[in-house]
Structure 1
Amino acid sequence: MSDESTASADLIPGAAGVPGGPGGQRRDAFGAGDSGDTSGFGGLVTPVPILSSTARPFGDADADAVYDALERAFPQLGDAVERVVVDRGELTVHVRRESLVAVGQTLRDDPDLRFELLSSLSGVDYPDDVTGRRLHSVAHLTSMTHRRRVRVEVSVTDADPTVPSLTSVWPTADWHERETYDMFGIVYTGHPGLTRIMMPDDWIGHPQRKDYPLGGIPVDYKGATIPPPDERRSYS
């Protein structure tokens, strides 16, 4: 194995305490599982998520400054936030959905925070989420005043996929929420016009959910026909 390929994966110590040794497993950098992986690494191990907050202080000056300011500006923060994670220099605040708009308003308006820009809002589907809330709505916020970023995340169940709309705080959330609704089925309550933005209005299902079938329709492209995904090359 080349040095480059070794560096791209973590080796879990085996019985002898030697990384990759007898009894050890390879945890690939891609984190894939049950997918017919084509990365070239066999026996991938998906790490179990740890649902706890990063210890304070975070050890990151911007993350500490943002969260300290948020605690001062939002006294009910302990009830509004489930956990706070700082990883690879990125601050993620997991907010309870009933507090999302109020926390967002504070992040935008407080002079020590000033997250004026919602740069993106998207969805994520974790079918094996240990909390049972597989659908996550993730907003990426930017403070142009203080040159900082923060991620605000809300998780909901498939049975009750409703999240308050952030359009009243950041109007740019409008089309982002429409796309997330279209692709993941997260319903943004209070949105001014929550309709599909990419798929036809009568389309059944939400294509970026992990359990959405790969089937599709053939596409004509410059004289050739591209078959649906489930009829293309098999990688298993």
Structure 2
Amino acid sequence: MAENHKWNENGDHLVLFMDIMGFKDRVTRMEHQDLLNKMIEFKEKNDRLKPLLQDKNGELLRMVQFSDSIIIASLDDSKSALNRIVKAGVVLMQNALETGFALKGAITKGPLTFDSELGIYFGLPLVDAYLLEEELKFYGVAFHHSVEELIQQYKERPLIRGGREQYLPVSEYQIHLKSGRSLHFCILYHKLTRLLAKGDYSVTLNRHLKLFSRTVSGSPKIYIDNTRNFLEDAHD
């Protein structure tokens, strides 16, 4: 059965909000052209997102990036949308670390207005995603409680495409927050390869984390240590 590639005006949507860490510091410390080159490199790597954003029948996800923020929204709140937006999160996390950026973010669910032509983006899930992202103290993507029921539905009855079960790299983990640690569902972005096939990509990501660690001191290293622990301990 073909998917309905239409924006659900009256229903809920999944929202992925991502923040580029330390961006303001880079703006003040780096030469403008050097930072621009880094942003262009990141954007070019994000060509991997294209099959997730659109197919021959039209749009699948909506995306906007401004300054240090990235927002991706699904057309509805289906299991197919969950699978797609999680993979988009995997691509962004992998691409960022490989470019020398660090991201953290959150996925939420709820009513949303996402109008690219008018430049209007607002809704409760955006607020929820921003607030949860602010609490994270590791480089990764956590899920708001509004998405937990949909995750459980996916786990119980996985999405099937082409006769094959679609692996969802999502699991619960005691994530690091600014106020302590708490069990949340999060994206296992180290459990998919660059081709978005199931596999272990943690060795490559750890190598980029090590390089990134040489460029910072103080509290950013805590984020790196927490991320290393996540890559080692978080499993499905």
Question: TM-score normalised by the shorter chain: which range applies?
Answer: under 0.3
Larger Rg: 1
